[in-house]
Structure 1
Amino acid sequence: MGAADVVPGVSGGTIAFITGIYDTLLESIRRVNPSIFSLWRREGFAAVWQHVNGTFLASLLTGILTAILTLAKAVSYTLENHPIVIWSFFFGLIIASAIHMIKQVEKWSVVEIILAVAGAIFAYGITVANPISMEFNMLTVFIAGSIAICAMILPGISGSFILLLLGMYAPVLDAVKSLNIPVLALFAVGCLAGILSFSHVLSWLLNKYRSFTIAFLTGLLIGALGKVWPWKEAISFRVNSSGEQVPLVEKVLSPGAFEAATGQPALLGTAIVMMIVGFALVIGLEKVSEKLAD
Structure 2
Amino acid sequence: MTDTAPAAAPADTALPRHRNPLGNLLRGALIGVVETVPGVSGGTVALVTGIYDELIEAGHRITAAVRRLVTGPDRVVGAREQLRGVNWLLVLPLLVGVAAAVLTVAGPVAGLVESHPETMRALFLGLVAGSVLVPVRLSGGAWRGAELGLFALGAVGGLLLTSLPSTSLEPSPWVVAPAAAIAVCALVLPGVSGSFLLLSVGLYQPTLQAVDQRDLGYIAWFGLWALVGLVVIVKLMRILLTRHHRGTMVVLAGVMIGALRSLWPWQDASGALQVPGADWPLMLLLALVGVAAVQLLVLVESRLAASAS
Mark the runs of 5 or more structure 2 residues left unpaired by the alignment: 1-30
When the two chains are superposed, the root-mean-square deviation of aligned CA atoms in Å is: 2.7
Kept after mapping to 2: 8 A contact 1:235/1:251: no
Shift of 1:203: 1.1
- Paired amino acid for 2:246: S
Shift of 1:24: 0.8
Shift of 1:136: 5.5
Q: In the alignment, what sits opposite 1:233?
A: 267
Identity over the aligned pairs, expressed in percent? Answer: 33
Kept after mapping to 1: 8 A contact 2:183/2:197: yes
Q: In the alignment, what sits opposite 1:82?
A: 116
Q: In the alignment, what sits opposite 2:57?
A: 27
Kept after mapping to 1: 8 A contact 2:188/2:233: no
Kept after mapping to 2: 8 A contact 1:32/1:196: no
Residue 273 of structure 2 is aligned to residue 251 of structure 1: yes
Paired residue for 1:64, among 98, 112, 129? 98
Shift of 1:174: 5.9
- Paired amino acid for 2:94: L
Mark the runs of 5 or more structure 1 residues left unpaired by the alignment: 237-248, 260-265
The equivalences for 1:1-294 within 5 A come to: 1-33=31-63, 34-35=66-67, 37=69, 41-42=76-77, 50-106=84-140, 107-131=142-166, 137-169=172-204, 172-173=207-208, 176=211, 181-230=216-265, 232-236=266-270, 249-254=271-276, 258-259=277-278, 266-268=279-281, 270-294=282-306
Q: Distance in 2 between matches of 1:128 and 1:172?
A: 21
Specify whether residues 172 and 233 from structure 1 end up closer, same or farther in structure 2 by C-alpha distance, changes over 3 A only.
Answer: closer
Shift of 1:217: 0.7
Shift of 1:44: 9.4
Task: Give the paired residue count.
Answer: 270
> What do the CA deviations read for 1:224-282 (whole angstroms, capped 9, x no partner)?
1121122x13152xxxxxxxxxxxx231422xxx34xxxxxx151x3233222211111
Normalising by the residue count of structure 1, what TM-score does the alignment of the two structures yield?
Answer: 0.81
Q: Distance in 2 between matches of 1:179 and 1:98?
A: 35
Q: Distance in 2 between matches of 1:280 and 1:195?
A: 31
